Structure 1
Amino acid sequence: MARILVVDDEIGIRELLSEILYDEGHTVELAENASQARAARLRYRPDLVLLDIWMPDTDGVSLLKEWGSQGLLDMPVIMMSGHATVDTAVEATRIGAMDFLEKPITLQKLLKTVQTGLMRPHAKQVLASAQATATNGAARAPAAATPARPGAPAPAATAVAAAPIPAVQEAQNQGSHLGSISLDQPLRDARDEFERVYFEYHLGRENHSMTRVSEKTGLERTHLYRKLRQLGIDSSRKRNS
């Protein structure tokens, strides 16, 4: 799973790409212009960026050039456009773009290009670095504890570190089930079941206020409505009889 930033001023394209990449297991951040893309690039540290060329404030090629001059092109950038010329695509590649996707983008082309981008050396280095940081952080935690005297009982921190993760222990106790979700089914089916429980929980908690549910879940309302329809969840406010 990778962190992918999608930058496009058309909401329909942002949401479509987000759904496709999310279904592939990636985490997706959306930006509708260069200003949002700059902030997301610093905050989100994406493993790959899908960047539209024609945007209202700053065009994608200029933003790409800006990132390059600031030493911020440490992730693959794939340019997108439905109107760019060959010269524009060549210029973007020369500046530092990994590839170019012409709109409308086909599913197969998108997934293949993204997969290729994530396999590039600098993308793998970013992922490996993040994984190493997490692993080293976990490995250092027990070492920080005060060494035990010979013959003394094991420190509590060691016992906690050795304990199974509660969710894993619960699944083992329930025979490959986590609550009502079977862990023996394909990942996509299990994820759909989890999302159904997740969104039904927030809908109930927020009394079916789509504005509050959108804020809680971090999804744009249009994307939220589409996700609820996809999961077969009734988003209408329940009325008391």
Structure 2
Amino acid sequence: MATILVVDDEMGIRELLSEILSDEGHVVELAENAQQARDYRIQQTPDLVLLDIWMPDTDGVTLLKEWAAQARLTMPVIMMSGHATIDTAVEATKIGALNFLEKPIALQKLLKAVEQGLAHGTATPEPVAPPKPASTLTPSGVPMATALANALSSMPADPTASPTPQQPATQTASISFDIPLRDARDAFERAYFEYHLARENGSMTRVAEKTGLERTHLYRKLKQLGVDLGKNRNEV
């Protein structure tokens, strides 16, 4: 069991990470901004920190620099962001960050990064590869372009044709490119999961297998995206 400090200004992210890490047996402390994280670090040293980059008061990279300058960077720090550039990720690792997680964070990537971080302890961090652009992967780690192509290829050739159980409809093609990246990503993920739910007649077991997610994480993700689980649902 380890003590993990989660620093993120988004309440939903804090609650989700807290729930997942608590289920793994860890003690989770929460900070909604850099000042709360500073105050906590003055009093205690967590075993690991999950630190968001973009926060309203002080960004995560600046806080990381402060801890390094004050000799308080004595614990592994994993950076998190859905909008960070490659330069930002490289800068963070040079300062002392151990790893980088791209939002939305896949469950297996989170658990693996936490496990590696806790095993790393206070050893000198090694540089890690910069993150891929935020829009390139689906939650299951499949390249978004591939998933999009697969989804579109399953649509009827006749746009007026009704979908069959083996050929469910998809709304992926109607996603606007004139909306913010995060909204576009949410819209794609919503269409992605609705497609698989329709294709598998609402079977959560088969959808979990198809998307590569654990059922618990799949439920959380569908709830977060606002996907109606009542549609075509015949198996839990």
Letter in 2 for 1:29: E
Give the paired residue count: 124
Encode CA deviations 1:65-106: one digit per residue, 9 max, x unaligned: 000000001000000000000110000000000000000001
Counterpart CA distance in 2 for 1:14 and 1:81 is 13
Letter in 1 for 2:73: L
1:60 maps to 2:60: yes
1:2 maps to 2:2: yes
Change in CA separation of 1:110 and 1:37 when aligned onto 2, cut-off 3 Å: same
Letter in 2 for 1:81: S
- The alpha-carbon deviation at position 122 of structure 1 amounts to 1.6
Q: Secondary structure at the match of 2:80?
A: strand
Letter in 2 for 1:109: K
Letter in 1 for 2:58: T
Q: Which runs of 4+ in 1 moved over 4 A?
A: none
Counterpart CA distance in 2 for 1:54 and 1:92 is 13
Counterpart CA distance in 2 for 1:41 and 1:9 is 17
Give the structure 2 partner of residue 113 of structure 1: 113
The 5-angstrom pairing of residues 220-231 of structure 1 reads: none
The 5-angstrom pairing of residues 108-147 of structure 1 reads: 108-122=108-122
- The alpha-carbon deviation at position 44 of structure 1 amounts to 3.2
Counterpart CA distance in 2 for 1:42 and 1:59 is 18
Tell me the percent identity: 76
Give the structure 2 partner of residue 93 of structure 1: 93
Q: Secondary structure at the match of 2:122?
A: helix
Letter in 1 for 2:101: L
Counterpart CA distance in 2 for 1:108 and 1:47 is 20
Give the structure 1 partner of residue 13 of structure 2: 13
Give the structure 2 partner of residue 183 of structure 1: none
Counterpart CA distance in 2 for 1:45 and 1:57 is 22
Give the greater-gyration-radius structure (CA): 1
Counterpart CA distance in 1 for 2:21 and 2:121 is 21
Which segments of 5 or more consecutive residues in structure 1 lack a partner in the other structure? 124-241
Report the RMSD for the aligned CA atoms in angstroms: 1.4
Counterpart CA distance in 2 for 1:51 and 1:23 is 20
TM-score (norm 1): 0.50
Q: Secondary structure at the match of 1:61?
A: helix
Give the structure 2 partner of residue 200 of structure 1: none
- The alpha-carbon deviation at position 121 of structure 1 amounts to 4.2
Letter in 1 for 2:43: R
Counterpart CA distance in 2 for 1:73 and 1:45 is 9
Give the structure 2 partner of residue 33 of structure 1: 33
Letter in 2 for 1:23: D
| 8 A Cα contact 2:7 2:37, kept in partner | yes
Give the structure 2 partner of residue 102 of structure 1: 102
- The alpha-carbon deviation at position 41 of structure 1 amounts to 1.4
Encode CA deviations 1:97-153: one digit per residue, 9 max, x unaligned: 000000000100000000000001427xxxxxxxxxxxxxxxxxxxxxxxxxxxxxx
1:72 maps to 2:75: no
Which segments of 5 or more consecutive residues in structure 2 lack a partner in the other structure? 124-236
Counterpart CA distance in 1 for 2:33 and 2:72 is 17
- The alpha-carbon deviation at position 43 of structure 1 amounts to 2.2
Counterpart CA distance in 2 for 1:117 and 1:4 is 10
Give the structure 2 partner of residue 138 of structure 1: none
Encode CA deviations 1:181-218: one digit per residue, 9 max, x unaligned: xxxxxxxxxxxxxxxxxxxxxxxxxxxxxxxxxxxxxx
Letter in 2 for 1:87: D
Q: Secondary structure at the match of 1:122?
A: coil
